[in-house]
Amino acid sequence: MERKKLVVLTGAGISAESGIATFRDANGLWEGHDVMEVASPEGWQKNQALVLDFYNQRRKQAFQAKPNPGHLALAELEKKFAVTVITQNVDHLHEQAGSTNVIHLHGSLFQSRSTADESLVYPIKGWELKLGDKCEKNSQLRPNIVWFGEMVPLMDQAIAETQQADIFMVVGTSLMVYPAAGLVHYVPAKAPIYVIDPNLPAVNKRTNMHLISEKAGVALPELAQKLLQAV
Ligand code: OAD
């Protein structure tokens, strides 16, 4: 029998229990910085050293973080479901937990890319990307992260996956940032949607929607067991 397709949209909340701060729980400040200073092309133009250092610190922190029961439950669901994780997170905790099919909608902390040619993407060795680190075309490297005001290159792929979902989950995201937040509108009407967040985001109610006001590390293992037993 063909496996059911489970598509999961995750946000910062799923990594919260691994010790990585979410964005909007901190009053618009992100680890002490105005989000626009560290996550926009304008911020980069203004102060490249500050932006590089900011992501170096995030990378250092991410190296120390470990997947929590929420990430692990999503990996376990691969035993019986065809799972696609669409994450807004730039950490790699889904992969570390064992998920094999992860779309990083907002890029990766562990890659750099050329400021002259965005098709030139490189792995970052170690935790530090510095002023003076250059691509093969001799331009400064920047983090391969989608900043505010930039295109989301993997959005079409994420929409195509969502349109094929038999089951959809939304975990740990405030659904404040588009286009990612709009993915919910592409879920087929017949597919149940599970929303897991202790502070539930505003979503249009529809039939077949289950709102679970709980932490991911608690609710996801429970839901995963339920779904695995029902197959
Ligand atoms: P937000 O910080 O906006 O939202 C985090 C959500 O996680 C909130 O709804 C919290 O209630 C919820 N949350 C907190 N702890 C949780 C837990 N233990 N379990 C489950 N949920 C929990 O983060 P995102 O929605 O991911 O973009 O933000 C979207 C984008 O905005 C990010 O990808 C980032 C940011 O600017 C870029 O960096 C490009």
Which pLDDT band holds residue 205 (cuts at 50, 70, 90)? confident
Report the pLDDT value the prediction gives residue 35, as an integer from 0 to 100.
Answer: 86
Whole-number Å distance between alpha carbons of 28 and 30:
6
Using DSSP, state whether 37 is helix, strand or coil. Answer: helix
Annotated catalytic residue 94:
no
Answer yes or no: is pLDDT of 69 > 70. yes
Give this prediction's pTM.
0.96
Atom of ligand 1 nearest to the CA of 25: 2
Report the pLDDT value the prediction gives residue 201, as an integer from 0 to 100.
Answer: 95
Q: What's the rounded mean pLDDT across residues 127-147?
A: 97
Cα 132 to middle of ligand 1, angstroms: 32
Whole-number Å distance between alpha carbons of 194 and 139:
44
Report the pLDDT value the prediction gives residue 26, as an integer from 0 to 100.
Answer: 63
Say which CATH architecture domain 1-20+67-106+152-231 belongs to.
3-Layer(aba) Sandwich (3.40)
Average model confidence (pLDDT) for the chain? 95
- Catalytic, out of 71, 94, 104, 106: 106
The kind and range of the H/E element at 229 are helix 216-230
Whole-number Å distance between alpha carbons of 163 and 184:
10
Report the pLDDT value the prediction gives residue 29, as an integer from 0 to 100.
Answer: 61
Name the residue among 155, 159, 166 with its Cα closest to residue 188.
166
Report the pLDDT value the prediction gives residue 91, as an integer from 0 to 100.
Answer: 96
Which pLDDT band holds residue 40 (cuts at 50, 70, 90)? very high
Atom of ligand 1 nearest to the CA of 175: 25
Report the pLDDT value the prediction gives residue 125, as an integer from 0 to 100.
Answer: 87
Which pLDDT band holds residue 17 (cuts at 50, 70, 90)? very high
CATH 3.30.1600.10 maps onto the chain at 21-64+112-145
Answer yes or no: is pLDDT of 8 > 60. yes
Report the pLDDT value the prediction gives residue 190, as an integer from 0 to 100.
Answer: 96
Cα 163 to middle of ligand 1, angstroms: 23
Binding site membership of 177 for ligand 1 (Cβ less than 6 Å): yes
Answer yes or no: is pLDDT of 28 > 80. no
Q: What's the rounded mean pLDDT across residues 102-110?
A: 97
AA identity, residue 163: Q
- Which residue bears the tokens 């038999």? 166
Binding site membership of 16 for ligand 1 (Cβ less than 6 Å): yes
Q: Higher confidence at residue 206 or residue 162? A: 162
Taking the CB of residue 156, how many other CB atoms lie within 10 A of it?
A: 9
Using DSSP, state whether 223 is helix, strand or coil. Answer: helix
Cα 12 to middle of ligand 1, angstroms: 4
Pocket test for ligand 1, best of 29, 31, 88 (most atoms within 8 A of CB): 88
Report the nearest-CA residue for atom 14 of ligand 1.
Answer: 13
Answer yes or no: is pLDDT of 1 > 80. no
Q: What is the pLDDT of residues 84-100, one digit of tens each?
A: 999 999 999 999 999 99
Answer yes or no: is pLDDT of 30 > 80. no
The DSSP 8-state label assigned to residue 78 in this structure reads G
Answer yes or no: is pLDDT of 187 > 60. yes
**Beta partners for 144?**
108
CATH 3.40.50.1220 maps onto the chain at 1-20+67-106+152-231
Report the pLDDT value the prediction gives residue 77, as an integer from 0 to 100.
Answer: 98
Whether the Cβ atoms of residue 172 and residue 14 lie closer than 8 Å to each other: yes
Q: Higher confidence at residue 141 or residue 125? A: 141
- CATH code of the region 21-64+112-145: 3.30.1600.10
